[in-house]
Amino acid sequence: MKFTFLLLVWTALYLALQSRGLPIPDPDSPSQLAPRGHLEKSYLIGGFGYQPLNGNGNYKIVTSAYLYVAQPKSIGLGFLTSVARLLHLDVDHLGEHMSQCFRRLKLLFTIGIPMVRLKVSITGCQTTQVTLSRTGWKHLGLVSATEDIGKCTEVMLTVKAENSDEPGTIYLTPPEGFMIISDIDDTIKITDVLEEKLMFENTAYKDPVPVKGMPELYASLSKQLVMNSTPPFFVYISGSPFELHKFLNDFLKDDFPASRGPLLLQNLTISDPKGAAKTLTGGDDGESKVDYKMRQITDVHGYLGQKKVLAVGDSGEMDPETYGDAYRKFGEKFIKCIWIHVLDDKKAKNTQERFDKAFEGVPKERILLFHTSDIPRLQTIEVAKGKCNFGGGV
């Protein structure tokens, strides 16, 4: 998500709360927390599982969940109306889509619950129940945990909790093999991050549309990059907030069924505006976005550092800089190829100077800058044999 759009969204929410005389949630003030009880809900974000090198084939899972209490629907409706006005959208037109907007964005209108432990059940492994560590204060209501689950008989685990409306999914993978680290917005899904109005529409209520040719490409990679009977592992790292997890996860189910994998998203919950402001104020150069994605890639490397990575992103935001940093930090033993979708947008910084700086120290044969028209040809690149481009470098 682009900084200016999210800043507008947060401003709109602030106005919606303020106009109704309701307090702005502050994680440093426990007295402002919404009351707990039967209204308490959880959303299971899921995650991935890995085999420690000395674990005798046992798995550990890295999983997340969000415990919350919903705010009144009027807050959400006021929020959406304020966003429309800030973006100079037709409020009456938005009204036709208000129900869809509310369903898709409803986790944005919640208050996270701190200091709660969530018990989840897991199918397909020796361990059938896990109690996650307590939800925190800094990331209000959100918990991320690493848990031992023993040996498993399935590669996709179902996670359930009593107060969750739907299960989560944990994707297992062995240490070896290929891994595709992929961005989402304007890499595989048309979001138009450089156009605030279009981005809001594509995020809030329009049906998601895949970038032409990318579902076929990822389906092809899922077959081409099988290594010693191990299929490639897809990991999606995005700057979108975790409150959009269901929307993006459903998009992957529908349009990328052959390449589903864990979604690693940012914590931008409205219950922590101070933390969100820090995340969003990295400046126009997007340094905070690079830092966030590098933290995620570093964490993934810590668990799956023996994988061979194809990193896929776009030029709309900071993917070239992020993947360049990742290569310089981890080297070609981990980052095998970098593919960047060059957006055909005047606002995209598609200068050679930018790419030279982003990929300083990265061998040209490891990089491919491609346009939408090139996507069908990407299936012909023999990544499994060490090829990263069409043969002409950058």
| pTM listed for this prediction | 0.86
Residue 393: inside a domain? no
Residue 31: inside a domain? no
Residue 34: inside a domain? no
- Number of domains within the chain: 1
Residue 280: inside a domain? yes
Residue 75 is predicted with a pLDDT of: 75
Residue 391: inside a domain? no
Residue 40 is predicted with a pLDDT of: 85
Residue 33: inside a domain? no
Residue 18: inside a domain? yes
Domain holding 269, by residue range, is 3-25+40-385
Residue 258: inside a domain? yes
Tokens encoding 116 = 């709660």
Q: Per-residue confidence of the chain (394 residues) as pLDDT tens digits?
A: 544 455 445 455 444 444 444 444 444 444 343 344 446 899 999 999 999 988 788 999 999 999 998 877 777 777 777 777 776 677 677 777 888 888 888 888 888 888 888 999 999 899 899 988 888 777 788 888 999 999 999 999 999 998 898 999 999 999 999 999 999 999 999 999 998 888 888 998 999 999 999 999 999 999 999 999 999 999 999 988 899 999 999 999 999 999 999 999 987 654 444 444 343 333 344 447 789 999 999 999 999 999 999 999 999 999 999 999 999 999 999 999 999 999 988 888 999 999 999 999 999 999 999 999 999 999 999 999 999 998 744 4
Residue 36 is predicted with a pLDDT of: 45
